[in-house]
C-alpha cells in the first residue's frame, strides 16, 4: 500500500458536483468518468494528472451527493489516494467501499503545496513530502474500515456473508 | 443511559447495546432506497457480491426520478436496468413514469416511512425522513447494495447537535428560512459526522412537511441525519399516509449533546443562500438589485403541496416577470393532482409559469432548466454549488417558495412583503 506521485491540491468544501457534474452520470464506467473528473472545477482539469498522482483536498472534501461516481471518477483519472483536512461523511464511506485510499490529516494539510512530490505509506498513514523533506502522519484508519479493506472491499465483505 | 433521538432509534434496530457516540454498530434497515442514477451501480455491486435475492421485496424502493422522463438514450438504458432488476426481484415499490415522483416526497406520502425507522438510501437527501422521526441517511450505491442483500448495515453512533428553535415566526418566514439560517450559523461542515436534533416551541407547532424541509437540508451542514421528535402531529401524518402503528418517540431528558444551538426566530426575515455554498446565507433585505433569469419551485426540499400553496397565494392574479422563466414542479403525482383540484396549476399557468412533471432534473442541472453562462437562478432546491444547475459561470441562490414567488413576479430577489 505504497504510493508516489505529484500532489494536485484542490480547495476546501470540494463538492461532488465539482468532482463529477450530474450531466455525466449517465454511465458508471471508470474510464469515462475519469476523463470528466473535476470538470465541475475547471474544464479539462484532468489533463494535468499522471497515473499515480495524489489528490490533496481541504476541509469537508466530497460534500454533497451520495454519488459513488465521485470516488470512481478519481480512481478512473488515475489517482489512487486522496489526502484531505477532513471528509464529508458519505464520501468517506464511498471511498473505502470503492478501494480509494483516504487519509485525513487536519491542519497539516498546509504542509503540502500543489505540485509537491509525495510518497504515501497507506498502512502506517505516513506521508513523506519529498519536496519539503517533511514527514506527516495521518489519523489512523478506523478499525472497522480496515476490516472492510482487508476483506477486499465491501463487495467481498458482503460476498462472504451471503455465501 | 439517557439517549438522543439518534441513539434511541439505532437501539431499536440493534441487538447489542448502542452505547456512546463513536461506537460502531450493526443495525437492521426498515427501508432501502435507490434512484435512476444510483441504482444501476447498486445493481452491479449486488451482482458482484454474489447476492441472488434481496432481503425483503417489500422493504426496497427504487424510484426513477432524476433524469426522467428520460432525457436521452443513456438515461433510458439506466432506467431499463433498474426496471428489469425490479421485475426480476419482484420488488414491490418500483416507481417510474406516471407513478413516480421526487423520491423523498413520494415515499412518506405512500406511507413507506415512519417514526423509529432506519432508512438508508443511495441519495444524500435521504435524511428528509428525519422529519417523521426516522433515522435516515444517505450512502453510496455499494453500501446500498449490501443493505439490499443483507437487510442490515453498520453505523458509527453519531454525536448529536441539539438545535432549540423558539420565538415567534414572522409572516413571510418559513422552515426553509430556519434551516438556511442554521446552516449559515454552523457552516457547511458544522455537523460533519454528527446528527442534528431539532426541538423547541417552534418545532412543536411546525407542520410535518415543514419539518421534512428542514431535515432534508441536514446534509448541507454535513449532517449524518436530521431528526425531529415523533409527536402527535407525526402520528396523524403517518396514520393518514397509511403507515402501520406509528409510535411517538422523543429524546430522553439528560441526553448528552456535542453542542447546543439556540435560535430565537422572532424578527427573522426570509433567508437566502448566495453562491456558491449553502452556508453563504444573508437576510433577503441585504440583497440589492440581484436580478434573476430563472426561478425553480420544486424538489425534495420544497415541492410539496404546502409549498405550492404558499407560492400560489403570492402569484395569484399576477404575471411572472417577462425576463423570468418560472419553472414549477409538483414533487409527486398526488401533489400534482391536489394542485389541479385546488386550482394552483391554473394560477401558475395563467401567470406565465411552466408547470412540469414531477422530476429532480433541474435541481442538479441534469435535465430541464439548465442555466447558461452568466445566468442566475433563485431555486427552492437545496444546493447552490458552482455549476450545480448548468454552466460553471452561472449562479444559484436558494430561498423559500415564498421568496421564489416574489422573485418570479419581480425578476429580482426581494422581500416578499414588497410584492
A140 pLDDT band, cuts 50/70/90, is: confident
Show residues of chain B in contact with A25, CB under 8 Å: 37, 66, 366
Task: Write down the pTM of the prediction.
Answer: 0.97
Measured between CB atoms, does A21 come within 8 Å of chain B? Answer: yes
Measured between CB atoms, does A51 come within 8 Å of chain B? Answer: no
Measured between CB atoms, does A84 come within 8 Å of chain B? Answer: no
Strand order in the sheet with B376-379: B281-283, B271-273, B395-398, B376-379, B294-297, B325-328, B354-355
Compute the Cα dihedral for B52, B53, B54, B55 and give only its sign.
negative
Compute the Cα dihedral for B63, B69, B72, B77 and give only its sign.
positive
pLDDT at position A148: 76
pLDDT at position A158: 82
pLDDT at position A156: 87
What is the complex's ipTM, to 2 decimals? Answer: 0.93
- How large a percentage of chain B has pLDDT more than 70? 100
Measured between CB atoms, does A145 come within 8 Å of chain B? Answer: no
* Strand segments (E) across A27-149: 54-56, 81-84, 101-104, 117-121, 126-129, 134-137
Contact (Cβ atoms closer than 8 angstroms) between residue A66 and residue B140: yes
A152 pLDDT band, cuts 50/70/90, is: low
**Average pLDDT estimate for B350-372:** 97
Show residues of chain B in contact with A161, CB under 8 Å: 149-150
pLDDT at position B100: 98
- Calculate the alpha carbon distances from B254 to B2, B10, B11, B108, B372 in Å: 6, 18, 17, 31, 52
Region class of A161: left (phi > 0), else alpha (psi between -120 and 50), else beta: alpha
Query: Which residues have a Cβ under 8 Å from the Cβ of A47 and sit 6 or more positions away?
Result: none
**Average pLDDT estimate for B25-52:** 97
B54-66 confidence digits (pLDDT tens): 999 999 999 999 9
Q: Average pLDDT of chain B?
A: 97
Please report where in the chains the cell 421568496 appears, as a residue. Answer: B403
SS3 letters across B187-244:
CCCCCCCCEEEEECHHHHCCCHHHHHHHHHCHHHHCCCEEECCECHHHHHHHHHHCCC
pLDDT at position B262: 98
Contact criterion met (CB < 8 Å) for A68 and B41: yes
Show residues of chain A in contact with B72, CB under 8 Å: 26
The pLDDT of residue A147 is above 80: no
The pLDDT of residue A153 is above 80: no
Contact criterion met (CB < 8 Å) for A142 and B24: yes
The pLDDT of residue A159 is above 80: yes
Q: Average pLDDT of chain A?
A: 93
The pLDDT of residue A145 is above 80: no
A56-72 confidence digits (pLDDT tens): 999 999 999 999 999 99
A22-80 confidence digits (pLDDT tens): 999 999 999 999 999 999 999 999 999 999 999 999 999 999 999 999 999 999 999 99
Task: Outline where A2-142 has alpha helix (H).
Answer: 16-19, 30-35, 69-76, 89-98
Query: Which residues have a Cβ under 8 Å from the Cβ of A46 and sit 6 or more positions away?
Result: A34, A35, A36, A37, A38, A39, A77
The pLDDT of residue B280 is above 70: yes
pLDDT at position B46: 97
Show residues of chain A in contact with B219, CB under 8 Å: 90
Neighbours of A27 (CB within 10 A): 16
The nearest CA of chain A is from the CA of B186 a distance in Å of 13
**Average pLDDT estimate for B248-254:** 98
**Average pLDDT estimate for B201-225:** 98
The pLDDT of residue A129 is above 70: yes
B90-128 confidence digits (pLDDT tens): 999 999 999 999 999 999 999 999 999 999 999 999 999
Contact (Cβ atoms closer than 8 angstroms) between residue A24 and residue A36: yes
**Most B CBs within 10 Å, among A10, A17, A41, A89, to test the B interface:** A89
Show residues of chain A in contact with B37, CB under 8 Å: 22, 25, 67, 69
Show residues of chain A in contact with B124, CB under 8 Å: 64-66, 90
Measured between CB atoms, does A26 come within 8 Å of chain B? Answer: yes
Chain B residue whose CA is closest to A65: B124
- How large a percentage of chain B has pLDDT more than 90? 99
Please report where in the chains the cell 506527516 appears, as a residue. Answer: A136
The nearest CA of chain B is from the CA of A78 a distance in Å of 20
The pLDDT of residue B35 is above 90: yes
The pLDDT of residue B411 is above 80: yes
Closest partner CB to B189 (pick from A18, A42, A86): A86
Amino acid at each position: 500500500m505504497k504510493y508516489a506521485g505529484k500532489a494536485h491540491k484542490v480547495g476546501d468544501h470540494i463538492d461532488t458536483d465539482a468532482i463529477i457534474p450530474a450531466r455525466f452520470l449517465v454511465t458508471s464506467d471508470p474510464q469515462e468518468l475519469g476523463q470528466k473528473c473535476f470538470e465541475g472545477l475547471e474544464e479539462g482539469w484532468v489533463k494535468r494528472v499522471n497515473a499515480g498522482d495524489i489528490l490533496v483536498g481541504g476541509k469537508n472534501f466530497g460534500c454533497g451527493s451520495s454519488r459513488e461516481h465521485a470516488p470512481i471518477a478519481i480512481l478512473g483519472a488515475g489517482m489512487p489516494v486522496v489526502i484531505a483536512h477532513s471528509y464529508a461523511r458519505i464520501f468517506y464511506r464511498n471511498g473505502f467501499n470503492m478501494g480509494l485510499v483516504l487519509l485525513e490529516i487536519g491542519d497539516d494539510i498546509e504542509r503540502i503545496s500543489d505540485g509537491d512530490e509525495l510518497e504515501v505509506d497507506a498502512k502506517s498513514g505516513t506521508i513523506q513530502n519529498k519536496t519539503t523533506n517533511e514527514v506527516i502522519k495521518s489519523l489512523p484508519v478506523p478499525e472497522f474500515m480496515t476490516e472492510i479493506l482487508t476483506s477486499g472491499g465491501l463487495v467481498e465483505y458482503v460476498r462472504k456473508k451471503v455465501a | 443511559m439517557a439517549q438522543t433521538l439518534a441513539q434511541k432509534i439505532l437501539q431499536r434496530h440493534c441487538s447489542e447495546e448502542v452505547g456512546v457516540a463513536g461506537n460502531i454498530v450493526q443495525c437492521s434497515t426498515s427501508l432501502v432506497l435507490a434512484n435512476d442514477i444510483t441504482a444501476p451501480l447498486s445493481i452491479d455491486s449486488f451482482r458482484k457480491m454474489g447476492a441472488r435475492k434481496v432481503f425483503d421485496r417489500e422493504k426496497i424502493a427504487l424510484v426513477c426520478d432524476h433524469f426522467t422522463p428520460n432525457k436521452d438514450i443513456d438515461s433510458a438504458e439506466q432506467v431499463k436496468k433498474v426496471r428489469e432488476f425490479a421485475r426480476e426481484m419482484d420488488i414491490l415499490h418500483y416507481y417510474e413514469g406516471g407513478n413516480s415522483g421526487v423520491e423523498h416526497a413520494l415515499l412518506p406520502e405512500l406511507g413507506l416511512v415512519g417514526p423509529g425507522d432506519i432508512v438508508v438510501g443511495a441519495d444524500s437527501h435521504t435524511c428528509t425522513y428525519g422529519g417523521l422521526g426516522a433515522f435516515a441517511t444517505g450512502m453510496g450505491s455499494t453500501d446500498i447494495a449490501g443493505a439490499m442483500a443483507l437487510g442490515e448495515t453498520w453505523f458509527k453512533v453519531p454525536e448529536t447537535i441539539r438545535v432549540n428553535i423558539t420565538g415567534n415566526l414572522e409572516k413571510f418566514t418559513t422552515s426553509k428560512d430556519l434551516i438556511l439560517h442554521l446552516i449559515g450559523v454552523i457552516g457547511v461542515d458544522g455537523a460533519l459526522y454528527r446528527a442534528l436534533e431539532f426541538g423547541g416551541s417552534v418545532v412543536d407547532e411546525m407542520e410535518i412537511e415543514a419539518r421534512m424541509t428542514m431535515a432534508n437540508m441536514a446534509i448541507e451542514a454535513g449532517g449524518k441525519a436530521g431528526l425531529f421528535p415523533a409527536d402527535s402531529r407525526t402520528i396523524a401524518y403517518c396514520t393518514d399516509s397509511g403507515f402501520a402503528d406509528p409510535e411517538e418517540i422523543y429524546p430522553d431528558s439528560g441526553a448528552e449533546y456535542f453542542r447546543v444551538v439556540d435560535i430565537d426566530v422572532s424578527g427573522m426575515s426570509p433567508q437566502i443562500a448566495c453562491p456558491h455554498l449553502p452556508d453563504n446565507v444573508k437576510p433577503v433585505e441585504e440583497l440589492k438589485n440581484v436580478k434573476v433569469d430563472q426561478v425553480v419551485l420544486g424538489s425534495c426540499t420544497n415541492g410539496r403541496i404546502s409549498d405550492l400553496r404558499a407560492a400560489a397565494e403570492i402569484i395569484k392574479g399576477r404575471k411572472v416577470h417577462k425576463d423570468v422563466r418560472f419553472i414549477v414542479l409538483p414533487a409527486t403525482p398526488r401533489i400534482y393532482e391536489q394542485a389541479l383540484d385546488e386550482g394552483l396549476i391554473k394560477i401558475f399557468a395563467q401567470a406565465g409559469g411552466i408547470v412540469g412533471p414531477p422530476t429532480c432534473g433541474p435541481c442538479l442541472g441534469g435535465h430541464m432548466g439548465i442555466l447558461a453562462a452568466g445566468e442566475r437562478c433563485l431555486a427552492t432546491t437545496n444546493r447552490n454549488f458552482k455549476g450545480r444547475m448548468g454552466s460553471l459561470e452561472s449562479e444559484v441562490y436558494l430561498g423559500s417558495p415564498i421568496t421564489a414567488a416574489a422573485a418570479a413576479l419581480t425578476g429580482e430577489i426581494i422581500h416578499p412583503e414588497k410584492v
